[in-house]
Structure 1
Amino acid sequence: MSTAPEAETDIYTRRESVVRAYCRSFPASFVQAQGATLTDEQGREYTDFLAGCASLNYGHNDPDMKAALVEHLSRDALTHGLDLHTPEKAAFLETFEALVLRPRGMDHRVMMTGPTGTNAIEAALKLARKVTGRTNVVSFTNGFHGMTLGALSLTANLSKRAGAGVALTDVTRLPYDGAFGEGIDTLTQIEAMLENPSSGMEPVAAFVVELVQGEGGLNAASAEWVRGLARLARAHGALLIIDDIQAGIGRAGSFFSFDGMGIEPDMVTMAKSLSGYGLPFACVLVRPEHDIWEPAEHNGTFRGNGHAFVTARVALEKFWSDDSLTREVAAKSRLLETRLGAMAARIDGARVKGRGMMRGIDVGSGSRAAAICETCFRSGLIIETSGAHDEVVKVLAPLTIPDAQFRAGLDILEEAVDNIVSLPMAAE
């Protein structure tokens, strides 16, 4: 992530914590957003290839969601209701059941958690340990699952983990699919560890895995590897928890990143684009036999979100009543893969990574990736990096971005790659 200088006298430098990050990469004040376009105070427009880190899969200020939300507000419907029953919650659950769960043969319960992805992960960890009576959880190299202590214990990034201030325990880190390069079967290694009583591993409560690693560099697990992991979980009495916080809701190509893989996770964590509108909203999908909480055993003042129930329902009805969005995402994914492949061919050793509309270019250097993103910003494109060394330029455009704007944004990215590729690569 780049660190553009800020004016020493501005209110952010004077009063906001130095922990702020994205505003350093994109030093502008944004006043309006519509679709895939952000507008700053000077009236300059930017194409958004960040989309709130996949929190805005349907773009900014979808008009149908906005109209439903304004109507909800105008009649003084509940803003905050703890976990009370409301018509808005019932309508969301009924729509989610009809359009998402039943078509997939999923009987999962919906557990409302605190409003962020890390809250969903924390709840899933607690429940997995309660169900199994075990403490050890397996996560994977390059994984990212959140910044609160339980979720952070699963997260692999050293700099993020260093902020904990305490030991992060009860987690075994195992190699993700492809972690040791092509031709090395990490699933066989995982199986050997699990079946060797002298491997040193404690019995596993759950495997927690992203099927496309959003912050870890867009590593994408194969369906074969995922099915093998599900088989190992069952064989060893562990739960399989799919973290679909960033890769879900169409981002990886279908509503869930595991669609079509022939598995049924024990739990699925969801957040980011769940509300459809950028409103805070998270949940855990739980198979009924694992839903063994006592009432209020896992609590939270902001579990559920009355406003998000409204917009999430509209998003489901508008985009998931048929396969139109899935087909649109498939077409854009093909275009994205082709264009990124052509750009990667200009850089020695570069490669395209990811799946669906969650793709990027590994350019081999964090400094080179940052330079590409900074050049893009100056040309009106907001795009960020990911990976262990921030070496991947990551495209997270809204799924609904107009085709012409999508192509224009890719043109800006291609020009930035051409401008930077001739520069010497700085040492990391």
Structure 2
Amino acid sequence: MRIFEEMESEVRGYVRSFPVVFDKAEGSELFDENGNRFIDFFAGAGTLNYGHNNPKITEALIEYLQHKGIVHGLDKATMAKREFMTKFRDTILAPRGLQYKMQFTGPTGTNAVETALKLARMIKRRSNVIAFTNGYHGLTMGALGVTGNYFYKDESYGSRANTAFMPFDGFLGEGVDSIEYMRKFLSDPSSGVDLPAAVIVETVQGEGGINVASVEWLKRLEELCREFDILLIIDDIQVGNGRTGTFFSFERAGIHPDMVTLSKSIGGGLPMALLLMRPELDQWSPGEHTGTFRGNNLAFVASTQALSYWDNDDMGKVVEYKGNIIEEELKKMAADFPELEPQVRGVGMVWGLELAAGMANEASQEAFTRGLVMETAGADDQVLKFLPSLLIEEDILREGLQIVRDSLTALVEKQRKMITGEES
């Protein structure tokens, strides 16, 4: 590990949580340079919904490269892009009755968010944007401005300009209607909140702690945006691409956002981000918003293969089945470890187990020593985050969940010994 400490910036993060040198990966398993096996409940922070080195994707990439297919193409027309766009239209948009144009931005999610914010402000001729508590949308300047977590912010960045934050569903507790709260700010000319160009929201806040917006809340948010002529942007970068059980996370609410940002698993494991927009919102002039790596043709090839998992409703059924396993096991753990003050929340195959202060990080570290990779989420890293591949085998899923249970057992035993003084 010495070379990483000597040469890589202090900003490195995950290598500190998982301090081994990884060498190989297949499906939902990782192997370090010494051959030690780890189950992956992290999935590249949601990038690997279809697993590591998915054979269908790998074979298509090898064939494309051997054919000497275009790798870098800016926004030129290529066969790889044509096949991807056709597949996305026919497999994802058309069956859902969605009519969106797509804009390829840059290689990562924050590029899609920046594009959406810029376009919304240009169309509406307003600079303000409403975001939500605990939201996470990226760390470039505009995206950082609509990200809620103070850890990532500093006044010297000037990142909060032209952004107003409102309470996400449930943030103010039961009995407080946050939509009516927003309505008051928008309707009162003395509220201090300028009429925004757009509202940007995750239907499930991944980094924010697995906070799930209710169907009713999402419907009423859409109605509020229509009432005040505000564009609704859904950030589906982490919890889209099938993570909640439907391809888009907003499908369960039956809403129709004006724009949708996609990245992470849309590239089949390779860098790609795009913005979906209603056709009438496509008001760019040619070349007005560009990026050198907006045409990742290898990602087009990979994504075309990944999208074939959505040719029918089998994938949705798989996510529902495995999601039920996760939910059932987490609820059992919550009942069995009350001293950890557990709370369970999630949908599909994105779940969180909130624990007492400091316990989630300890549980993640303990799980890693037992051969499981999983991260934490939430403002205080208080939530164990369950984000396995959608294709994880059931036996490996259950094995990983047992490791979590064993890790919690170890933490409780450690607490007991500290209280009784046995460790001294």
TM-score normalised by the shorter chain: which range applies? over 0.9
Which blocks of at least 5 consecutive residues in structure 2 are unaligned? 419-424
Alignment deviations for residues 184-207 of structure 1 (CA, whole Å, 9 cap, x no partner): 221111111111121111011000
| Residue deviations 1:362-411 (CA, integer Å, cap 9, x gap) | 1032x211110011000000011000110000000101000000000000
Following superposition, the deviation at residue 414 of structure 1 comes to 0.7
1:403 maps onto 2:394 in alignment: yes
Instruction: List, as ranges, runs of 4+ consecutive aligned residues in structure 1 with deviation greater than 4 Å.
Output: 422-426
Give 3-state SS (helix, strand or coil) of 1:187's partner. helix
Cα separation, 1, equivalents of 2:175 and 2:93: 36
Q: In the alignment, which residue of structure 1 is the partner of 2:319? A: 329
Tell me, what secondary structure is at the counterpart of 1:268?
strand
Distance between the aligned counterparts of 1:167 and 1:269, measured in 2?
20
One-letter amino acid of the structure 2 residue matched with residue 376 of structure 1? A
1:310 aligns with 2:270: no
Which amino acid in 2 is paired with 1:51?
A
Q: Which SS does the other structure have where 1:237 is aligned?
A: coil
- TM-score, normalised to structure 1, is 0.95
SS of structure 2 residue aligned to 1:217? coil
Q: 1:36 aligns with which of 28, 32, 38?
A: 28
Q: Pick the aligned partner of 1:96 from 85, 88, 105.
A: 88
What is the aligned partner in structure 2 of residue 274 from structure 1? 266
Corresponding residue to 2:63 among 62, 71, 77: 71
**Match of 1:302, as an amino acid?**
F
Residue 414 (str. 1) matches residue 422 (str. 2): no
Cα drift, residue 263 of structure 1? 1.1
Match of 1:351 among 313, 332, 343: 343
- Is 1:110 the equivalent of 2:97? no
1:177-256 maps to which residues of 2 (within 5 A)? 177-256=169-248
Please report the RMSD computed on the Cα atoms of aligned residues, expressed in angstroms. Answer: 1.3
Q: Deviations over 1:26-56 (max 9, x none)?
A: 0111110000000001101100000000000
Distance 2:384 2:413 in 1: 17
Aligned equivalent of 2:422: none
Per-residue deviation at 1:421? 2.8
Q: Which runs of 5+ in 1 are unaligned?
A: 1-6
Displacement of 1:165: 2.9
The one-letter code of the counterpart of 1:352 is: V
Q: Name the CA distance, whole Å, in 2 between partners of 1:133 and 1:20.
A: 38
Normalized per residue, the structure richer in helix is 2
1:286 and 2:277 correspond: yes
> Which position in structure 1 is the counterpart of 2:288?
297
Correspondence for 1:48 among 11, 15, 40: 40
Cα pair 1:332 1:357 within 8 Å, conserved: yes
User: What is the SS of the residue equivalent to 2:197?
Assistant: strand
Structure 2 residue 79 is matched with structure 1 residue 87? yes
Counterpart of 1:103 in structure 2: which amino acid?
A: P
Confirm or deny: 8 A CA contact 2:23 2:31 kept in the other structure.
yes
Question: Structure 2 vs 1, CA of residues 408 and 279 (structure 1 numbering), >3 Å: closer, same or farther?
Answer: same
1:215–1:387 CA contact under 8 A, matched in 2: yes
Letter in 2 for 1:314: Q
Aligned length: 415
Distance in 2, Cα, partners of 1:306 & 1:89: 6
Secondary structure at the aligned position of 1:370 is classed as: helix
Normalized against structure 2, the TM-score is what? Answer: 0.96
Which range is displaced more, 216-225 or 259-268? 259-268
* Residues 353 and 110 (structure 1), Cα distance of their counterparts in 2 relative to 1, 3 Å cut: same
Identity level (%): 45
Corresponding position of 1:383: 374
* Aligned residue type for 1:413: V
**1:4 aligns to what?**
none
Instruction: Assess if the C-alpha contact under 8 Å between 1:347 and 1:363 holds in 2.
Output: no
* Amino acid in structure 1 at the alignment position of 2:333: M
1:230 and 1:320 map into 2 onto residues whose CA distance is 26
